Amino acid sequence: MRKLLQRCLSLNDFEKHAQRHLPHPLFAYVSGGVEDNIALQNTLNSYQRFCLIPENMVDVSQRDIAVELFGHRYAAPVGIAPMGISAITGFQGDIALARAAASKNVPFIMSGSSLMRLEDVAAVNPAMWFQAYLPKTLEEIDALVDRVKRAGIPVLVVTVDTPVKANRENNVRAGFATPFRPSLALAWQGVTHPRWLTGTLIKTLITSGMPYFENNNAVRGAPLFSNNAVRDFSGRSHLTWQHIEHIRQRWPGAMVIKGILSRNDALRCKAMGIDGIVVSNHGGRQLDTVIPPIYVLPEIVEAAGDMTVMLDSGIRRGTDAIKALSLGAKACFVGRPFNYACAVGGTAGVELAIDLISNEVSRDIGMLGAPKLADLSEKHLRYIE
């Protein structure tokens, strides 16, 4: 593993190793978008439309990339986005991600669509944030919120861009479904990927037994492997901003809304006292051809007022993060590359990935002539048609 990690010089390098390491259905689940993958590709390409304009002969010998979010000072403005079922792509993936984030002091958001109990993950990273997919009823919502509160989680993140199930055709073509249904094809994928089979799946079964979806509700959900269990993501189409207001009144800590792409939605969040928003298109995994977040970031920052504005989707380089920060984002979150790093290298892989992009941010602001993140602004950017 050490030699493999030595060959990873950027976040993009982890993907090719993960593709060889993971069974095809799992890699397809992580890497894919929705329908024709147009939103995914447009989001990745959107950062190239902004060019950087450096200012030279500035003293950048003492650079500072630290950022304060909700009372916690982090070492870098790039954190780990919530990713579901990461404990099946890498052994105890949620704990590995959380431990690496704590070690490097960067933000970490645990996904509600996870296979490890949020309480167990919070034990290794008490500063972690928890991202919830809202259950169907107010009673279930209240129970989940109360569970997160009891765990001492400081920041609750509510994702609002999943009102109906996305049409992820690539998952179907690759044979991916949750819960997994045992089959000869699935068994063959395990046999042909022995490092994943022994190092993740079998190790998980021996250590903790059958994985279950642990945090979509206040109680345990469906098992990961089953012939007849259903992972239920239906029933959210009736949810409205009144449910968010209800949670805001019940939740005492910092509250963040994830999945904002509309100025009007940002204004709604501001009006009900939300502390922060994540401008995000879910990594291009929900609505195909949806706009890349960086294109609407400036108008959302303007509407947000005192709210903390963050961004995810498509960040792969320090220069990508710098462009978002120059347009007003306070921090950025990265998903897939950290999943790949965890799959091939566990905690050490994620720590390396954090170091790589953090070092890029520090190096790039030096090249840009902006020794502090607060020095970044739109003057450093030019949009190219």
131 annotated among ligand-binding-site residues: yes
258 annotated among ligand-binding-site residues: yes
State the DSSP H helix or E strand holding residue 366, giving kind and residue range, or none if neither. Answer: helix 336-368
What's the half-sphere exposure (Cβ side, CA atoms, 13 Å) at 156?
27
For residues 287 and 284, give the distance between their C-alpha atoms in angstroms, rounded to a whole number.
7
Amino acid (one-letter) located at 228:
N
CA distances to 82, 251, 259, 381 from 269, rounded to whole Å, are: 20, 15, 12, 28
Tokens encoding 190: 């395990």
99 annotated among ligand-binding-site residues: no
282 is annotated as an active-site residue? yes
246 annotated among ligand-binding-site residues: no
111 annotated among ligand-binding-site residues: yes
For residues 54 and 377, give the distance between their C-alpha atoms in angstroms, rounded to a whole number.
11
90 annotated among ligand-binding-site residues: no
Given the residues 17, 21, 193, 282, the one annotated as active site = 282
Amino acid (one-letter) located at 230:
V
231 annotated among ligand-binding-site residues: no
152 annotated among ligand-binding-site residues: no
276 annotated among ligand-binding-site residues: no
250 annotated among ligand-binding-site residues: no
Cα 279-342-318 angle, rounded to 5 deg: 45
336 annotated among ligand-binding-site residues: yes
Neighbours of 153 (CB within 10 A): 23
Helix H segments across 198-335? Answer: 203-208, 241-250, 263-271, 293-304, 318-326
Neighbours of 38 (CB within 10 A): 14
36 annotated among ligand-binding-site residues: no
313 annotated among ligand-binding-site residues: yes
For residues 256 and 246, give the distance between their C-alpha atoms in angstroms, rounded to a whole number.
14
Known binding residues are 29, 82-84, 111, 131, 133, 159, 168, 258, 280, 282, 285, 312-316, 335-336
The catalytic site residues sit at 282
Known binding residues for glyoxylate are 29, 133, 168, 282, 285
Known binding residues for FMN are 82-84, 111, 131, 159, 258, 280, 312-316, 335-336
